[in-house]
Amino acid sequence: QLQLVESGGGLVQPGGSLRLSCAASGFTLDYYAIGWFRQAPGKEREGVSCLSTTDGNVYYADSVKGRFTISRDNAKNTVYLQMNSLKPEDTAVYYCAADRRLCMVPVKYSAYVYHYWGQGTQVTVSS
């Protein structure tokens, strides 16, 4: 059974950092797009980043470019999202998603193409 499990969310001060993890089981992350998405209350779910295991390309939404980094650990079958210089507007539930495809861009609007989703993890940025 294909499963994605996120972890690493929590409460952090503005300017702080968090590292989210997305652990995959039931499949190997080959020929996949792995995306990170977020949804704040009353807002649409928006993509923040995507990593293609097919060609190695990575993509970021403009709102997080230069602050967030997506990466992969092949041995652990896990994808990470390193979030630095966090802002209150980054507060949201963050989701990991996967699909057997290349990354779709612009990543901000790509949520609808993904078939497999994790359960979400809350990130709160507040002083």
Residues 16, 4: Cα–Cα separation, whole Å: 26
From first to last of its 127 residues, the chain has per-residue pLDDT tens of: 889 999 999 999 999 999 999 999 998 888 999 999 999 999 999 999 999 999 999 999 999 999 999 999 999 999 999 999 999 999 999 999 999 999 999 999 999 999 999 999 999 999 9
64 vs 60: CA distance, rounded Å: 7
CA dihedral 48, 125, 11, 58 (to 10 degrees): 20
Residue in the structure block whose two tokens are 């896990």: 78
What gap in Å lies between CA 110 and CA 47, rounded to an integer?
6
Q: CA-to-CA distance for 48 and 45, rounded, in angstroms?
A: 10
CB within 8 Å of 92: residues ≥ 6 apart: 38, 39, 40, 43, 123
Q: What is the pLDDT of residue 2?
A: 86
- Confidence (pLDDT) at 29: 86
Question: Which tokens sit at 112?
Answer: 């609808």
- pLDDT at residue 69, as a whole number: 98
